[in-house]
Chain A
Amino acid sequence: MTVGNVFFAVASVVALLGAFMTIASQSPVRSAVGLLITIVGIAALFLMLNAQFLAAIQLIVYAGAVVVLFVFVIMLLGPDAGDGEGTVARARVARYGAGAFFALLAAAAAHLVTRAPDAVFTPFGAVDPEHGSVEAIGRLLFGSDVVPFELATALLIVAVVGAIAVARGKPHVRRQSKSASPTARMFHGPLMARDAQRPLPTKAEKAAKAAGGA
């Protein structure tokens, strides 16, 4: 057993334990901490693959920003926000049902793998030590992979505009109909003037009218 294997075993066990803690714990704060442990474990796995940059980014973005965001939300909502009333039994059934379903899927996948002894897996060569360095990633982003990198700018714009659109409340001053200008009248308001009123009299009105006529 080499040092690499031991490192791999430790990192994966840490990541798995963290994942289990995330879903099994009752308190949301504990779940967030579990997520943090998973992320650290995965960062360690990235290090093993010579992806130093990715490992650092994993820690900075996920552990540093995303988990902190989770903790903030938990803080704002209070630690007991998850306790629902009434639907707990249904939620439990759904949770165990989904768990059982995914276990079944995993078993099916494992069965597929073991049943195919002649299955061919693409052999990947050993990873170059410089493979995950900042320089190598930079060369990829501004070289051969520039198109998806540029596409990501559109994604970021949509994310920012969308966040503003959803977070901003209602406009303070309601818009009034522009009935003043004849051009505006073409574009707004009812199709026919008579629709501005209630189009059909109610039963009571009809009866009153009939009574009045008689």
Chain B
Amino acid sequence: MNFDILLAVSPILAVAIGGLLLMLAEAFGKPMVLTGPQAGLVSTDAGAGRSDELALGSAVILFAGALISVALWKVGPESLPGAAALAPYLIIDRFTLFFCFLLCLGGGLASLLAGGYLPEHNLDRGEFFPLLVFSTVGAMAVAASGDFLSFFVALETMSLGVYCMIGLRRGNLRASEASLKYFLLGSFAAALTLMGGALLYGATGHTDFVGIGQGIATIGKSTSAVNAPLVLVAVALVIAGLAFKISAVPFHMWTPDAYEGAPTPTTTYMSVAVKSAAFAVLLRILVIGFGDPRLASWGTGWPTIVAWLSVLSMIVANVIAGRQESVKRMLAYSSIAHAGYTLIGVVATMHSGQGTPSVLFYLLTYTVSTVGAFGALILCGRRGAEAVSYEDLAGLGKRHPAAALAFSLFLLSLAGVPPTAGFFGKLYVFSAAVDSQLNVLVVIGLLNSVIGAYYYLRVMVYMYMREPEPGAPLATPMRSGFVVAALIVAAVFVLVCGILPNTSLDVAAAAGLSHG
């Protein structure tokens, strides 16, 4: 019985214990003896100079978490009846395990990127890695939570870690601005969600999603619309709070500044793990908590709100992304646009059983493509010669064909070009939407994909077809085994999901089914 519980939470538990060990290693490890001109000097800073070991350690911990999720998937969470004792606070089903794998993968890749990025840019800070690991613990708990209580605690765990990882670059005004903006707006959004939860408790007497769903179903049974103002206001508040975390327009204002000011591995983590976790809980709340047919219908419920968020995100983000001069900012807007595409799948859960699996598969493809794109951006720059604007990348294809090729692969995947993962991700989201008769949304999504291709291809045009201006600052790629390893893992996922999508799609379908 108790063993079932331990086994069920083992992915989360393993990562948490690993995080503790990492903290001990960081605190009590030997300070590095510096070589070179300062030979013999011992760094006064316990964490400094040991990013290599810590990055490797946290990557191993997070990939181990992903492997444990896979193992648990093979065993089958259904065969652990004792785990039901954790409900409703933590629900361990295939849906949760899928997200545990996805979040650990994203977190692990981000820590590999950090292992290359932080020492190169003199941000050698040992605290980064425990923060990353514990943030991932929070994110996994968010994906597993089935109750507002545990959801909120887990959400704050995830967010606090991210706020601090953004602000790591002390003394840099842009990083401070990014951190402060994300912190203030993020706290405000969390408060909105909490207020929504409180109102739902007032309306139904429950904090768990299942109980909320049943409570809503009993309200004014005879009427065609849910006639409870508390519930309607709560639905709006909860969606607004979560839309902030997935950075959907109009709750996206913080995104470009926070993404640009943060160290790039943090940006990767934010755009991958935080967004996926928020989508997980959004699906759970909408489908289970607000799954009442009257609330999940076009005229009187949340699908209209979510569809508007989706349309606005796609259009606004794509139009603005095309006008950016900074590649990192362009990728930030691209992540807003991708939130819009994913929301189409969320709307499709209204009618079609394909909605949830399509969202899960899309998140998988988005995760590996985004990690790859940010990783390639990291690889293309060194301290003092960072790849920031399009001009920095001019002629990269000739100077560094391998780095440019990697960047191109991930950009093509983000754009949704056929042999890559991004194509199938979009295909399944759009086909799920067609199943639900959301043809208008599909047309808008397709048009936006075309607009999106413009700015992704623009990077490639600069890399392959432009020659740098004489004397212009150029990005010079760094040498980092960590970044290359992350890029290889991401590239394998992009190609496997793009050429042989069957396995990952079956997994997403099974995860979506267990969610109900």
> How far does the alpha carbon of A165 sit from the alpha carbon of B131 in the complex, in Å?
9
**A187, chain B: closest CB distance, angstroms:** 5
Chain B, residues 201-224, CB within 8 Å of chain A (1/0): the string is 011110000000001000110010
Q: Does B482 contact A (CB under 8 A)?
A: yes
Most buried by A among B120, B141, B476: B476
Question: In the complex, what distance in Å separates the CA atom of A154 from the CA atom of B116?
Answer: 27
Smallest CB–CB gap between A185 and chain B, Å? 8
| Interface status of A92 (Cβ within 8 A of chain B) | no
Q: Do A154 and B35 touch across chains, with their CB atoms under 8 A apart?
A: no
Report how far A164 CA is from B128 CA in the complex, Å: 11
Whether the pair A148, B43 counts as a contact (CB closer than 8 A) is no
Given contacts A152-B153, A155-B160, contact A187 B124 (CB under 8 A): no
**Contacting pair B135 A158 (CB below 8 A):** yes
Complex contacts, A203 vs chain B, CB 8 Å = 470-471
Identify the stretch in A44-52, A78-86, A127-135, A173-181 within 8 Å (CB) of chain B at 4 or more residues: A173-181
Answer whether residue B458 sits at the interface, using C-beta atoms and an 8 A cutoff.
no
Q: Which residues of B contact A188 (CB under 8 A)?
A: 119-120, 478-480
Q: Which residues of chain B from 37 to 93 have any CB-CB distance to chain A below 8 Å in the complex?
A: 37-38, 41, 43-45, 47-49, 52, 86, 89-90
Contact with A along B375-405 (1 / 0, CB 8 A): 0000100100100000000000001100100
* Shortest distance between the CB of A111 and any CB in chain B (Å): 9
- Decide if B157 touches A148 in the complex (CB within 8 Å): no
Contacts of B147 in A (CB 8 A): 148
Contact with B along A178-208 (1 / 0, CB 8 A): 1110000111111110010001111110100
CB of B79, distance to nearest CB on chain A (Å): 21
Contacts of B468 in A (CB 8 A): 200
A73 to B: closest C-beta gap in Å? 15
- Answer whether residue A212 sits at the interface, using C-beta atoms and an 8 A cutoff: no
Contact partner of A159 (CB less than 8 A), chosen from B44, B160, B229, B478, is: B160
Chain A nearest CB from B10 CB (Å) reads 15
| A148 close to B153 (CB less than 8 A) | yes
Q: Across the interface, do A122 and B204 meet the contact criterion of CB distance under 8 Å?
A: yes
Which one of A118, A157, A178, A180 contacts B220 once the chains associate, using CB atoms below 8 Å?
A118
Interchain CB contact under 8 A, A162 and B131 = yes
Q: Which residue of A lies closest to B19 (CB)?
A: A157
Interface string of B464-496 (1 = CB under 8 A from A): 000010111010111111100000000000000
In this complex, how many residues of chain A approach chain B with their Cβ under 8 Å: the count is 56
Contact A191 B157 (CB under 8 A): no
Identify the closest chain A residue to B138 (Cβ).
Answer: A154
The answer to whether B138 touches A202 (Cβ under 8 A) is no
Q: Are A175 and B34 within 8 A (Cβ)?
A: yes
A119 with B227: in contact, given A176-B34, A180-B35, A187-B52 (CB under 8 Å)? yes
Residues 124-144 of chain A, each 1 if its beta carbon lies under 8 Å from chain B, else 0: 100000000000000000000
Asked if A116 and B228 sit within 8 Å, CB to CB, the answer is yes
Q: In whole Å, how far is A137's beta carbon from the nearest beta carbon of chain B?
A: 14
Name the residue on B nearest A110 (C-beta): B229
Q: Which residues of A contact B470 (CB under 8 A)?
A: 200-203, 206
A199 and B474 contact, CB distance less than 8 A: yes
Does A89 lie at the interface of the complex (its beta carbon under 8 Å from any beta carbon of B)?
no
Which chain A residue has the least Cβ–Cβ distance from B128? Answer: A165
Interface residues of A in 25-63 (CB under 8 A from B): none
Are the CB atoms of B204 and A176 closer together than 8 Å?
Answer: no
Q: Is the CB of B44 within 8 A of A121?
A: no
Given A112-B233, A169-B170, A180-B35; A186-B476 close (CB under 8 Å) = no
Which residue of the partner chain B has the closest CB to A178?
Answer: B35
Among B161-169, B279-287, B340-348, B448-456, the one that faces the other chain is: B161-169
Are A171's CB and B227's CB within 8 A? Answer: no
User: Counting CB contacts under 8 A, is B149 at the interface?
Assistant: yes
Cross-interface CB contact of A165 among B32, B125, B223, cutoff 8 Å: B125
Which chain B residues border A174 with CB–CB below 8 Å? 122
A positions within 8 Å CB-CB of B: 109, 112-113, 115-116, 118-122, 124, 145, 147-148, 151-152, 154-155, 157-159, 161-166, 168-180, 185-192, 195, 199-204, 206
By a beta-carbon cutoff of 8 Å, the part of chain B in contact with chain A is: 16, 19-20, 23, 32, 34-38, 41, 43-45, 47-49, 52, 86, 89-90, 116, 119-120, 122, 124-125, 127-128, 130-131, 134-135, 137-138, 141, 147, 149-150, 153-154, 156-157, 160-161, 163-165, 167-168, 170-171, 179, 202-205, 215, 219-220, 223, 227-230, 232-233, 379, 382, 385, 399-400, 403, 468, 470-472, 474, 476-482
Which 5 residue pairs are nearest across A and B when measured between Cβ atoms?
A: A162-B164, A165-B127, A147-B89, A202-B471, A112-B229
17 new A-B contacts, CB < 8 A, other than A148-B149, A187-B116, A189-B479, are A151-B89, A151-B141, A151-B153, A154-B141, A157-B23, A161-B131, A165-B165, A166-B167, A171-B45, A171-B124, A175-B32, A175-B34, A175-B122, A180-B36, A187-B481, A190-B479, A191-B379
7 interchain pairs, CB-CB under 8 A: A148-B89, A154-B138, A186-B481, A189-B478, A199-B399, A201-B471, A202-B470
